[in-house]
Amino acid sequence: MFIPRDENVDSWKQSIRTQIIAYLDEPKISAKKMVLSEMRFAYNHCKQVKAMLIKQTASFVTYKLDMHHCDDQADQIQVGKIFNGVDAVYMVYYTALSNQTSSIQLQQMSEMIKATQLVKADK
């Protein structure tokens, strides 16, 4: 979890998180299955959810979740991108607490997540 300097793990308004699921651990995992799992979790734990697939290709899925009245968490907006990598499915997502982050900041971070690329690191 990555948070701004002036925030902490117990009190944050924005965060960036990553997740990797290796095909060796879950051979049938895909970006689409992961985004559907994120949406299903939101629908099961929140009373009001707006879910949107922003873009879907063979390589990645970009999505947005707007979640309100959730079990044990504040209202929040999540924008994520999930990649079908060579060895795993890679996920990066930005979360902002609703009404606690400026619309400009939310838009900038959403654009940054949407522009994210999965690249192979050179050794």
pLDDT in tens, 76-99: 999 999 999 999 999 999 999 988
pLDDT at 101: 86
pLDDT at 4: 86
Count how many domains the chain has. Answer: 1
Q: Is residue 1 part of a domain?
A: no
Q: Is residue 119 part of a domain?
A: no
pLDDT at 123: 67
Contact between residue 16 and residue 92 where contact means Cβ atoms under 8 Å apart: yes
Exposed, middle or buried: residue 80 (CB in 10 Å: 0-12, 13-18, 19+)?
A: buried
What is the extent of the structural domain holding 86?
A: 14-108
- CATH code for position 93: 3.30.160
List, for the chain, all residue ranges whose pLDDT scores fall below the cut of 70.
Answer: 123
d(CA 30, CA 84): 6
